[in-house]
Amino acid sequence: MTQEINLTVGALLDDIAGKYPDNEALIYVERGLRYTWREFNERCRQVAKGLLRLGVKKGDHLAIWAYNVPEWVTLQFATAKIGAVLVTVNTSYKSAELEYLLRQSDSSVLFMVQGFKDTNYVETLSSVVPELATSKPGELKSAALPCLQHVVFIGEGAPDGMINFEKIVELGREVSDVELAAVEATLHVNEVINMQYTSGTTGFPKGVMLTHHNVINNGFNIGECMRFTENDRLCIPVPFFHCFGCVLGVMACVTHGTTMVPVEIFDPLKVLQAIEKERCTAVHGVPTMFIAELEHPRFQEFDLTSLRTGIMAGSNCPIEVMRRVIRDMHASEITIAYGQTESSPVITQTRTDDPIELKVSTVGRVLPNVELKIVDIETGAELPPGKQGELCTRGYLVMKGYYKMPEETAKAIDTDGWLHTGDLAVMDENGYCKITGRIKNMIIRGGENIYPREIEEFLYTHPNISDIQVYGVPDRKYGEQVMAAVVLKQGCGMTEDEVKEFCRGRIANYKIPKYVRFVDSYPMTASGKIQKFKLREMAIRELQLEGNV
């Protein structure tokens, strides 16, 4: 067992800046921006002081709606240094989702960029808060969002009613080190400093409350699984608003003095350029990101021999992709991680020396200082190795709860402190886990329990199929029927009948998809998780099954 770290996030940064003051902490290749640990800590302290001068108090909720800009990672530490709670906003949100999150989270400050992809954030916010344009900065009175007082703009200038981020830095000059130290002295490791909205794959978002202790210890153990040191350099193209970016990325680095090399908006070419230019030793991504990098027409031009490790997570990794990441990207020690936001987020991870078979067939074994068990979904009894049940975890990693949702919290965390993930899993005798599906995704057809993952794994073996998602649709006679959404490999053709014929005699008849549709892509959350509930909704409409629901 490793020692648990009992520091606040701010104290951790002070500690690392003291150990490695002149090492590079944060590099933005395209901006030519480089901070040493001393400089980065000073920048965070300056912003923390500016927030105090703005009137932000310990426990206040501050939302950030931005892609991976430098201010994002600065705010992650500046807010923690004064005990404010950073509320992360999905970069893909539109007006209704933004309004829900800001209202439900009681956010008093919003930090935002101009926009992302096809969404103009300034216009979107104006539609939710029309009063902003005619308000003096800091004096906002919004009917829809009564808690919101300040909007801080990250970029050039400041739209009406907002102040520019650099103004916060200036305000910090009016606050002494003594004032900041006095606030820091009141902080406790078990206080909430981060709130992330989750449940994008199942419905209404819930605010997951994470503490200093949650994210530091999870980040440290994640970094240990990759054998991070102060000599490593991690390319981070995954979004900061998600745990993948801010914990598996940022906190795994900061706990080890590892250099952070973020990519602001994912672009496979920019990832390849950053790895080569900065000699990155690690890179993170969901499988689709690694595929985009490997298949980029200029892939062969880049020297990636500095790569050693990193994390692939978010969805299942096809074995051929893993082989190519190890062989062609030189990441021989790449790891797989599994978890959920409610567990800060990583529960299990493969280790650098695990064989490739374990990296593609399992999600690794439990992290140090964490308990894990597989329980029967009917009785709750703990199951032996080899039996499928719900994966549950307990320890420092379990969230404080869902913000203002005590009933939802009680459903997720039982009276003994076990977090129920809702994921179906099997653990082998060596402690390696396979995720076999979600309880909610289980299809019940005529009394038979059908696990989509099993059918997906089978159909993956067809040479024409690139990707496959299996889910249930309503049926009057059987309750549910099996449906498959298939992405074909480029240049390959296939019919619905051919898919069914491939299954006949090889899997049970009741598991053969009744419906097959061919698609180019799947609806995704911004963090790369496939939204099966949206596939189901689309299928119900297309097949006119509304009467069966």
Domain boundary among 321, 343, 368: 321
Task: Examine the domain organization and report whether 103 and 246 are in the same domain.
Answer: yes
Q: What CATH number does residue 473 fall under?
A: 3.30.300.30
The Cβ-side half-sphere exposure at 182, using a 13 Å CA radius, reads 8
- Tokens, residue 8: 């606040």
Cα Rg of the chain, angstroms = 24
Sheet containing 479-488: give its strands across. Answer: 465-475, 479-488, 515-518
Share of the chain above pLDDT 70, in %: 99
Indicate whether 510 pLDDT > 90.
no
Residue 461 lies in a domain: yes
Sequence-distant (6+) residues with CB within 8 A of 202 are 440, 533
Mean pLDDT of the chain: 94
Which of 274, 291, 321 marks a domain boundary?
A: 321
Beta carbons of 91 and 266 less than 8 angstroms apart: no
pLDDT over 80 (residue 200):
no
Residue 260, domain member (yes or no): yes
Q: Name the domain boundary from 291, 321, 351.
A: 321
Task: Return the CATH number at 66.
Answer: 3.40.50.12780
Beta-carbon contacts of 209 under 8 Å, excluding residues fewer than 6 positions away, are: 85, 192, 194, 195, 399, 400, 401, 402, 403
Q: What does the DSSP 8-state code read for residue 84?
A: P
- Yes or no: say if 43 and 164 are a contact pair by the CB < 8 Å rule: no
pLDDT value of residue 508? 79
Is 206 in contact with 253 (CB distance < 8 Å)? no
Q: Looking at the domain assignment, is residue 407 inside a domain? A: no
Q: Please state the domain count of the chain.
A: 2
**339 assigned to some structural domain:** no
Picking from 106, 121, 255, 294, the residue whose alpha carbon sits closest to that of residue 192 is 106
Note whether 51 and 200 are same-domain residues.
yes
Q: Is residue 368, in this structure, part of any structural domain at all?
A: no
Residue 348 falls inside a structural domain: no
Domain containing 152 equals 9-321
Compare 308 and 435 and report the one with higher pLDDT.
308
The confidence band for 153, taking pLDDT boundaries of 50, 70 and 90, is very high
* Whether pLDDT at 199 is above 60: no
Look at residue 417 and tell me if it is in a domain. Answer: no
Average pLDDT on 388-405 reads: 97
Name residue 333's amino acid.
Answer: E
Question: How confident is the model over 24-52, as pLDDT tens digits?
Answer: 999 999 999 999 999 999 999 999 999 99
CB atoms within 10 A of CB 368: 15
Spatial distance between the Cα atoms of 88 and 400, rounded to a whole number of angstroms: 16
**Residues 522-536 pLDDT 10s:** 998 777 778 888 899
Distance CA 411, CA 396 (A): 19
- Token pair, residue 68, equals 């991976």
What is the end-to-end Cα distance of the chain in Å, rounded? 49
Residues 166, 310, single domain; the answer is: yes
N residues, the chain: 549
Check residue 203 and give its pLDDT. 52
pLDDT digits (tens, 9 = 90+) for 85-127: 999 998 888 888 899 999 999 999 999 999 999 899 999 999 9
pLDDT, one tens digit per residue, over 462-483 is 999 999 999 999 988 888 899 9
Mean pLDDT value of segment 208-227: 98
Whether residue 201 has pLDDT greater than 60: no
Instruction: Examine residue 75 and state whether it is found in any structural domain, yes or no.
Output: yes
How large is the average pLDDT for residues 242-267? Answer: 97
